[in-house]
Amino acid sequence: MVTEPSSRAQVLVASNRGPVSYSVRDDGTTVPKRGGGGLVSGLSAIGPDADAIWVCAALGDGDREAVRRTGGLLDPADTGGQRVRMLGIAPEVYEDAYNGIANSTLWFVHHLLYQTPLEPAFGPEFRARWASYETYNHAFAQALADEAAEGAAVLVQDYHLALVPGMLRALRPDLRIGHFSHTPWAPVDYYRLLPDDIGRRLLRGILGADRAAFLTRRWADAFTACCTELLGGTGNTGIGVHGLGTDAGFLRERAHRPDVDERIVTLREQIGRSPGPGSAAGGPGEPRKTIVRVDRTELSKNIVRGLLSYRQLLVDHPEWRERVVHVAFAYPSRQDLAVYRDYTAEVGRVADEINTEFGTEDWSPVVLHVRDDFARSLAAYRLADVALVNPIRDGMNLVAKEIPVISERGCALVLSREAGAYEEMGEDALPVNPYDITATAKALHEALTMPPAERAERAERLTAAATALPPQQWFLDQLTALRAI
Ligand code: G6P
């Protein structure tokens, strides 16, 4: 489908996951659900009159049904007015590209997730999937080429679409193309796990852009190092850094709506109170302290070592027993992959084990919730004394930025030095090596015992760092930089 020149867009965003997804009801009709995230609020910065379009993939059956019904250009009523073109890529091609290459290979490389004695093993199966990844990237490049006005700006997102800039450049040399990585970038030696030709093709794909941008200087430098080592340099592509921050205004308003207040009441009951100081029977005392984490159940988030560190805290500092609760929300993610299902089960198992080992009649040491509920996440943010953000490796980690903004008592932040957020927030956080359970337990103890005045001061500086570049400005900065080339 080639769009009439008059309706072609001046600004185009391309990402695997779009701003809306559809589920199918029993009667066959589809129900749209709008998503959130940095890109959704970022794009809103240019306003509804700007000639913009978002190109994304149909992820599941509901999306495919919506594409079949509409021809791909979604009903604006479903998207909040945003022009969205959803691509109905053949399910088997999509599966290989998204699960086979993007999530099982590229995500693993950039987050250092392989257990290398046995994996990865790149044989013919990998090559077949790679062909699908190329087909999927080509479908995006073609759609963008069809939709873009002369000289338009195209902002391509993430590792799913690493080949798009190069492919699009070949189809439409007139466009300004930017690529943005929301993930870390692998160090050279680890990147070289990829077959040589594939490693080079991915880099060349991104270098097809006028600008390749990253969340932190560290990831940008890692990318540049890979280009230097494998290709001899980055050519004419500019390298940028835009550290996505959080939208304080939106968060604060949203966190004080009635649905969040309701969830606070329930959470407070689950957390409970410490035994009273004077009573042997343990009458109610202060509300228990909380260590809060909210994540997708994602291998790189390091939830299991977080639980083990909390367990170690209860061993090393028995004085915390019955006085603290680990509020851990771990929401389902990528459950099509067996390794994610196993990991999800392990999170539940370790949480149960801690509750069995230490729990008492009225104290559950771990309160684990696995059903996604944004209002409940905000309720937990408000109640946080300590935020635990300990990823193995993470592009940014917006939870680290959101909790200090919302927490009512000014939380202390235990933060992995491998999270992108560490670059801006490390100084006022308690930094941890994500693999070191003993050190993380110690940091949790320090966080829990940090004097209130110090905690409040640090939280204020953390909040300033977290909100320095809100999504709308983050998006506009990229657009401005691209147009200036
Ligand atoms: C990361 C990636 C995004 C991705 C998100 C959720 O933040 O950078 O591109 O959309 O994870 O993962 P999912 O596979 O569910 O889209």
Q: Is 99 in the pocket of ligand 1 (CB under 6 A)?
A: no
pLDDT at residue 280 tops 70: no
Q: Which residues does 258 contact at the CB level (< 8 Å), separation at least 6? A: none
Contact 176, 210 (CB under 8 A): yes
One-letter amino acid at 379 equals: A
- pLDDT (mean) for 69-74: 96
> What is the pLDDT at residue 28?
86
Q: Is 246 in the pocket of ligand 1 (CB under 6 A)?
A: no
One-letter amino acid at 81 equals: G
Contact 270, 292 (CB under 8 A): no
CA–CA distance, 251 with 253 (Å, rounded to integer):
5
**From the alpha carbon of 160, which atom of ligand 1 is closest?**
9
Verify cis geometry, omega within 30 degrees of 0, for the bond prior to 19.
Answer: no
pLDDT at residue 282 tops 60: no
How many distinct helices (H) and strands (E) make up the chain? 20, 17
Residue in 333, 340, 398 to alter for ligand 1 test, most ligand atoms within 8 A of Cβ: 333
Quote the tokens at residue 326: 């680990």
The string of pLDDT tens digits covering residues 103-142 is 999 999 999 999 999 999 999 999 999 999 999 999 999 9
Quote the tokens at residue 124: 């013919």
Q: Whose CA is nearest to atom 16 of ligand 1?
A: 17
Q: Is 111 in the pocket of ligand 1 (CB under 6 A)?
A: no
Contact 156, 14 (CB under 8 A): yes
Quote the tokens at residue 450: 């940090």
Residue 296 Cα to ligand 1 midpoint, Å, equals: 10
**From the alpha carbon of 181, which atom of ligand 1 is closest?**
8
Residue 182 Cα to ligand 1 midpoint, Å, equals: 8
pTM, rounded to two decimals = 0.96
Q: Is 182 in the pocket of ligand 1 (CB under 6 A)?
A: yes
Minimum mean pLDDT among 23-37, 391-405, 449-463, 468-482: which range? 23-37
> What is the pLDDT at residue 45?
85
The label of the residue with tokens 């944004």 reads: 374
> What is the pLDDT at residue 36?
84
DSSP state of 102: I
Split at pLDDT 50, 70, 90, the class of 3 is low
**From the alpha carbon of 333, which atom of ligand 1 is closest?**
15
Pairing of strands 20-24, 284-287: unpaired
pLDDT at residue 334 tops 80: yes
pLDDT at residue 276 tops 90: no
Q: Which domains does the chain have, with CATH numbers?
A: 5-244+473-483 (3.40.50.2000), 248-466 (3.40.50.2000)
Residue in 164, 182, 215 to alter for ligand 1 test, most ligand atoms within 8 A of Cβ: 182
Q: Is 321 in the pocket of ligand 1 (CB under 6 A)?
A: no
Is 239 in a helix, a strand, or coil? strand
**From the alpha carbon of 103, which atom of ligand 1 is closest?**
14
> What is the pLDDT at residue 49?
72
Q: First-to-last CA distance in the chain?
A: 30
Q: Whose CA is nearest to atom 8 of ligand 1?
A: 182
Q: What percent of the chain has pLDDT over 90?
A: 92
pLDDT at residue 4 tops 70: no
- pLDDT (mean) for 452-475: 96
Quote the tokens at residue 74: 């979604």
**From the alpha carbon of 98, which atom of ligand 1 is closest?**
14
pLDDT at residue 183 tops 60: yes
pLDDT at residue 44 tops 90: no
CA–CA distance, 293 with 387 (Å, rounded to integer):
6
> What is the pLDDT at residue 5?
63
Split at pLDDT 50, 70, 90, the class of 286 is very high
> What is the pLDDT at residue 1?
58
DSSP state of 59: -
- Please list the residues that pair with 327 across neighbouring strands: 292, 367
Residue 207 Cα to ligand 1 midpoint, Å, equals: 22
Compute CA distances 189 → 102, 111, 282, 458, whole Å: 19, 13, 56, 37
pLDDT at residue 2 tops 70: no
The string of pLDDT tens digits covering residues 196-243 is 999 999 999 999 999 999 999 999 999 999 999 999 999 999 999 999
